[in-house]
Chain A
Amino acid sequence: ETGVTQTPRHLVMGMTNKKSLKCEQHLGHNAMYWYKQSAKKPLELMFVYSLEERVENNSVPSRFSPECPNSSHLFLHLHTLQPEDSALYLCASSQVLAGNYEQYFGPGTRLTVT
């Protein structure tokens, strides 16, 4: 499946580093999402962009900063992370039509904060 791609697939970073996660969808969808998946919380919605505008921000710490330059690309900028931020970060997209919110997920970025 190559509809939603994420890079990098694995990332190890120190707490003082700055890095970015990238997501690209090739499905012509108009909404994109960032999720955090960890043993503590299986699927935790972080941000939602619909038509390139942020419509959801679930009390995510400011050390996570999303960016959606166009409907096909989504970034998650990371800075001064904590070890508890280590998790799988999943990107998803959907075509928000009347009553249809089927989401397509990317393979995820496995993030380790040391």
Chain B
Amino acid sequence: GQQVMQIPQYQHVQEGEDFTTYCNSSTTLSNIQWYKQRPGGHPVFLIQLVKSGEVKKQKRLTFQFGEAKKNSSLHITATQTTDVGTYFCAGLLGAGKSTFGDGTTLTVKP
């Protein structure tokens, strides 16, 4: 069965509101990656987290890796219309196998 779960599946926000998507694994992950796919586009790598409790920031995006390395989150502060798309997490379970979550699709109302 699926080993990496992502919630919520959809999120609709007003421009300027914050947004968070969560990724949870039933097993410990070696690392976790986040990707963004714009409508009609392909997934584009955003960031990789490796260390327990790691926090990384990219402008308005904050990525966290849980202490137990079983969960992660992506938080966007003050969303903009350019943030629309589907955000995927991908957990590396070992032996080079990454498992993607089902993604969270974000829509932003201007």
Interface of A toward B, CB cutoff 8 Å? 31, 41-43, 45, 48, 50, 55-56, 90, 92, 96, 99-108
Check if B50 is an interface residue, CB within 8 A of chain A.
Answer: yes
As a 0/1 sequence over residues 34 to 47 of chain B, the CB contacts with chain A under 8 angstroms (1 = contact) are: 01000001111100
Q: A96 touching B96 by the CB < 8 A rule?
A: yes
Check if B30 is an interface residue, CB within 8 A of chain A.
Answer: yes
Q: B96 touching A45 by the CB < 8 A rule?
A: no
Q: A48 touching B96 by the CB < 8 A rule?
A: yes
Distance, CA A7 to CA B42, complexed state (A): 14
Interface CB pairs A-B, < 8 A, 5 = A103-B35, A103-B43, A105-B43, A105-B44, A106-B42
Q: A42 touching B96 by the CB < 8 A rule?
A: no
In whole Å, how far is A19's beta carbon from the nearest beta carbon of chain B? 20
Distance, CA A41 to CA B97, complexed state (A): 18
Q: Among A42, A50, A90, which residue has the most Cβ atoms of chain B within 10 A?
A: A42
Known contacts A42-B88, A42-B103, A43-B88; is-contact A103 B98 (Cβ 8 Å): yes
Q: Pick from A45, A92, A101, A104: contact of B31, CB below 8 A.
A: A101
As a 0/1 sequence over residues 67 to 104 of chain B, the CB contacts with chain A under 8 angstroms (1 = contact) are: 00000000000000000001010101000111110110
Cβ-closest 3 pairs across A and B = A43-B100, A105-B42, A42-B103
Residues of A with C-beta under 8 A to B88: 42-43
Residues of B with C-beta under 8 A to A31: 96
Size class of the B contact interface (CB-based, 8 Å): 20 to 34
Known contacts A99-B30, A107-B42; is-contact A42 B48 (Cβ 8 Å): no
Check if B33 is an interface residue, CB within 8 A of chain A.
Answer: yes
Q: A43 touching B43 by the CB < 8 A rule?
A: yes
As a 0/1 sequence over residues 7 to 26 of chain B, the CB contacts with chain A under 8 angstroms (1 = contact) are: 00000000000000000000
Q: Pick from B30, B50, B97: contact of A56, CB below 8 A.
A: B97
Q: Among A90, A92, A100, A101, which residue has the most Cβ atoms of chain B within 10 A?
A: A101
In whole Å, how far is B66's beta carbon from the nearest beta carbon of chain A? 18
Q: A99 touching B50 by the CB < 8 A rule?
A: yes
Q: Pick from A43, A45, A50, A108: contact of B103, CB below 8 A.
A: A43
